Amino acid sequence: MRAILFFTLLLILPLNMMAQAMETGFLNRTLNHDGEERLYQVYVPADYTADKNWPVILFLHGAGEEGKDGLMQTAVGLGHAVRKYVDRFPAIIVFPQSRRPGGWISTETPLALKALAQTHDEFSTDKDRVYLTGLSNGGFGSWSIAYNNTDQFAAVMVICGYLSARDIAREIPADRKFPMAVPGAEQDTYETLAEKLKDKPVWIYHGDADSVVSVRGARGIYAALKARGAPAHYTELPGIDHNSWDAAYSSEEAVEWLLSQKR
């Protein structure tokens, strides 16, 4: 009898240890980028198990959350929505953090893709349900990543994003070199992006009173996408300034749409 009990405990203990070791919620993670350790966060649902493949969302924050703490990027936008509406997000979410100057340009977009790749390696993920979203400067980064890595994502959701200097509502100093999210001449950037993403499900959110990133950019991108028959959605929020992300990420319809897309 004691022998049976002993072997039963041997079988049960490893299962209990695995359950205790399974971390969920917002988790601290690190990666090596350009020879430097960088901090980021991964959100793992409370009911995560490794016996099924989970959808993954890559989120790019705005300029206000740039830094080195590895935490601020979860405070605004998607992270805030996850904490408020946790049941709406049955997905693993990757929260990389960019730094000044520039945010999601130059060497910082590869950082985001590295964090995504590490997440695929660590967790059980569904590579046919990988989604890209970002706000403001992260919207710029989302357009850039989507253009250069189109086949990697099932859908793209961009909030108050932009493509180039002409989309910025504020005056930019003449001597400042401003990046472009996609290559090509200034006048055909919308068309260049739309041609690349014409088969990709896209949802754009923008406030019509945005004083930071002009709504004309969102309108131009959407028009170029629709002209090509793209499966694009556009929500323009009347009277809303730059913060269109709270409305976007709290929209049950938009979140359900995003998570329903498959590559």
Query: What's the CATH number where 248 sits?
Result: 3.40.50.1820
The pLDDT of residue 183 is above 90: no
Query: What is the mean pLDDT of the segment spanning 229-235?
Result: 98
Confidence (pLDDT) at 164: 82
**Is 14 within the bounds of a domain?**
no
Report CA-CA distances (Å) from 62 to 16, 55, 165: 40, 23, 16
Q: Are 206 and 236 in contact (CB under 8 A)?
A: yes
- Residue 230 pLDDT greater than 60, yes or no: yes
Q: Structurally, how many domains does the chain consist of?
A: 1
User: Given a cut of 70, is residue 2 above it in pLDDT?
Assistant: no
Residue 233 pLDDT exceeds 50: yes
User: Angle at the Cα of 196 (from 247 to 170), degrees rounded to 5?
Assistant: 50
Is residue 49's pLDDT more than 60?
A: yes
pLDDT band at 16 (very low <50, low <70, confident <90, very high): very low
Q: What angle do CA 92, 247, 218 make, to 5 degrees?
A: 95
Question: Are the CB atoms for 156 and 177 separated by under 8 Å?
Answer: no
Residues 201-223 have a mean pLDDT of 97
Report yes or no on 80 lying in a domain. yes
Question: What percent of the chain is predicted at pLDDT more than 70?
Answer: 85
In which domain, by residue range, is 193 found? 21-260
Mean of pLDDT values over 151-164: 96
H/E run at residue 58:
strand 54-60
* 28 inside domain: yes
Residue 15 forms part of a structural domain: no
28 contact partners, CB below 8 Å, separation of at least 6? 39, 41, 70
pLDDT at 197 over 80: yes
Least confident of 30-34, 76-80, 205-209, 241-245: 30-34
Residue 151 lies in a domain: yes
Window from 176-190, 191-205, 221-235 with minimum mean pLDDT:
176-190
The DSSP H or E segment spanning 206 is: strand 202-207
List the alpha helices (DSSP H) in the chain. 2-21, 78-84, 108-122, 137-148, 189-197, 215-227, 245-249, 252-260
Model pLDDT for residues 50-91, shown as the tens digit of each residue: 999 999 999 999 999 999 999 999 999 999 999 999 999 999
- pLDDT number for residue 14: 52
Q: How confident is the model at residue 139 (pLDDT cuts 50, 70, 90)?
A: very high
Q: Is 47 exposed, middle or buried (0-12, 13-18, 19+ CB in 10 A)?
A: exposed
The pLDDT of residue 19 is: 44
CA distance 9 to 110: 47
